Amino acid sequence: MANDYHHNHYVPEWYQRRFLPGSQHKQYYLNLRPDTEFKNGHKFTHHPLKLWGPRMCFAQDDLYTTEWAGVPNREIEQLFFGNWDRAAPAALDHFSDFAFDGESTDAFNVLLPYLSIQKLRTPKGLAWLQRHLKTRDKNQVLLDLQELQNLFCAIWTECVWQIADASESDTKFIISDNPVVSYNRECQPNSQWCLGVESPDVRFVATHTYFPLNRNKVLILTNLSWVRDPFQKPRTVRPNPHFLRHAMFKFTDIQVERILTEEEVREINFITKMSAHRYIAAADKDWLYPEESLASTNWRTLGDGYLLMPDPRHIHGGGQIIIGYEGGHSERFSEYGHRPWDRDFQNKKREEREWAAMEKFKAEWAATYGPEYRGVVYDMGPKSARRSMGEDYYLAQCESDKTYLKLPGELNRRKKLQRKR
């Protein structure tokens, strides 16, 4: 029985199958750093591309096996990762076709910790954990992973959630050995924040985190502080950056129905590829080379600087949450998870800055993308979702944007974010 848990998939087989059409059972699996060997005085590089089934991909023998007094133990794969891999598919299904209902809370309570665990369980994630825990003890790293399984949950709970759709694109999402991807437009792939096993810190305001749910849907998480004020320095640390704490989530703020263009899908795939540790996979071989189809691969200008940004017109100021309990007891949280006794629970200076920036950004967004929302919210259910800001409000915002464009340096700032076409 122990041998059943010897071959460990750090990207589960069930997840890989979500990216294959129903009639397809193999995927193109690309090694970005193929092995080389010397034979008879000659150097040979192994062919980097394979056509393999999920069983052969994203796996490593005994990755999760601990050893105590010389005796191997595979219970982490069997009981810990195994339990999460049994629960997660239904949660991904729910958010792939999201409509807030009675199952949403249970799905959220599975998906969120699953994402945190998935980010840590890969070879890249384990090496990152090992580095920051300052230990080379494999047993200890695997034990600490279980203790820290909710490491990213509070930060991601307080993000703006967006579910984007590639169904109208011929190109679909690819996956990698680092499937929970962090992208910050000011953290280039060759920068200190991305070298080796590092990824942009999820607490940097401009860091987006995304996770493809299937070949057509992707979940994108964006720090609220960045949506409110994308004019601040992208590597500024967000308010209340502490891990492992309580946080509150509002389902009716999730943005859905954003339809991606093929160029946007390819740009997301390019980020996935550049963020991979060693392997990527796709149902179609051509999708593995998104850089060949993009007019520009400039990291900063992908999506004109706003590739993963949710529609800011759904964002509002404030956001304090009060929870009442039987007996009269209550709890309060700020939109950033601060509690009443925290120094920044009410920060008037930050609120004023964010409000001014938000008004400016909403005007810029309207003038750039038009009156139709890029994503909608189901605050009153799918049938009543507002899909446009209305012509009069749109025209007023365009007029406001003309004023903002006259600010010193504003036109140049926008030009620096524009893609080459």
CA distance 319 to 293: 41
Tell me what pLDDT residue 3 has. Answer: 59
Pairing of β 279-282 and β 175-176: antiparallel
| Tokens found for residue 352 | 């004023």
Report whether pLDDT(242) > 60. yes
pLDDT higher at 297 or 420:
297
Percentage of the chain lying above the pLDDT 90 cut: 90
Residue 2 — pLDDT band, cuts 50, 70, 90?
A: very low
pLDDT at 100: 85
Handedness of CA 316, 159, 350, 323 (dihedral sign): positive
Residue 394 lies in a domain: no
Longest dimension (CA), the chain: 81
Tokens 């629970």 sit on residue: 345
- How many other CB atoms are found less than 10 A from the CB of residue 336? 20
Mean pLDDT of the chain: 96
Report if residue 386 sits inside a domain: no
In a domain, 409, yes or no: no
- What was the pLDDT predicted at 385? 81
The distance in angstroms from the start CA to the end CA of the chain is 57
Is residue 9 one of the residues assigned to a domain? yes
Residue 144: inside a domain: yes
In a domain, 344, yes or no: no
Q: What is the mean pLDDT of residues 383-396?
A: 90
Q: What is the mean pLDDT of residues 349-364?
A: 98
Number of domains comprising the chain: 1
**pLDDT attached to residue 1:** 45
Helix, strand, or coil (residue 24) = coil
Structure tokens of 416?
Answer: 């620096």
366 part of a folded domain: no
Best CA proximity match to 252, nearest among 334, 314, 306: 314
Task: Tell me the β-bridge partners of 331.
Answer: 323
pTM assigned to the model = 0.96
Domain range for 107: 2-313
